[in-house]
Amino acid sequence: MEVHHHSHTSRKKWTHYLWEFLMLFLAVFSGFLAENWREHIVEHQRANIYASSLYKELKKDTVQLNHLITWTLDNSKRFDTLCMLASERPKGVTNGKLYYYSGFTGSSVFFSSRNSTLEQLKSSGNLRIMNTEIALKLSDYDKSIKDLETDYTFFKTEYETITGLRLKIFDGITSVNLFTGRDKRRDSVFQLDPPLLNDDPKLMKEFIGWVKSEANWWRSNVRDNLNPLKEQATELISLLQKEYHLE
């Protein structure tokens, strides 16, 4: 009788399984690192594109802010002149002068940020891929813009009141005719004495009170909003230049 013996496969040592596990782990981990690195490269490239766009838009903002600050302060001085002329009515003050300076109270220029890239960063959640310090300062800049827009909302209500009072005192057609080409015709306009629609001192006093308020508001707007915004934009431009090597 033949006796058959079962063949026994040699059992693998535990170190073999450990080695297989390590190889599998390294393969998965390497893939994970490669994917993370690829994502990092893509985000870095995207951040550079955003930075370049932000840089250009902030440069435009600073140009606009510089012009607006100058315009605002100049206009505030004209409001002061109107208040002095209308309140004191010194000798030789013609209605032409009042018409000339009152026309400036109908002018208003508001800051409008070129912030489409910042809005895109916020809506897409990509603000996180920017340099941390820059991202925080961009958020501060955005908040300052929103605060300014809120101030503008309140001012526009006052502006409508001032315009309403002005049109009760000064004839609209005469104002337009005298205000056209005003810089070249200033001296000749000063010599004119067109009639007012209403020369009630109380109405003029109310109008001038609002003009004084408007002048103070414009100056405080420069101090509290426009100058700080310009400083923030200038700082961001410098940080973007340094971090993303922009010129």
Domain borders along the chain are: 14-244
Q: How far apart are CA 165 and CA 47, in angstroms?
A: 52
Query: How much is the average pLDDT of 49-64?
Result: 95
> In terms of Cα–Cα distance, which of 55, 50, 63 is closest to 241?
55
Question: What pLDDT score does 242 carry?
Answer: 94
Residue with tokens 């308020």: 213
CA 246 and chain centroid, separation: 21
With cut-offs at 50, 70 and 90, classify the pLDDT of residue 1.
Answer: very low
Q: Per the structure block, which two tokens stand in for 173?
A: 């057609």
Residue 112 has pLDDT above 70, yes or no: yes
Sign of CA dihedral 164, 169, 173, 177: negative
Q: How far apart are CA 210 and CA 41, in angstroms?
A: 58
Query: How much is the average pLDDT of 134-145?
Result: 96
pLDDT tens digits, one per residue of 99-109:
999 999 988 89
Q: How far apart are CA 129 and CA 126, in angstroms?
A: 6
Q: How far apart are CA 107 and CA 140, in angstroms?
A: 30
Average pLDDT, whole number, for the chain? Answer: 86
Instruction: Report yes or no: 46 and 129 within 8 Å, Cβ to Cβ.
Output: yes
Question: What pLDDT score does 88 carry?
Answer: 78
Q: How far apart are CA 209 and CA 206, in angstroms?
A: 5
pLDDT tens digits, one per residue of 195-233:
999 999 999 999 999 999 999 999 999 999 999 999 999
With cut-offs at 50, 70 and 90, classify the pLDDT of residue 46.
Answer: confident
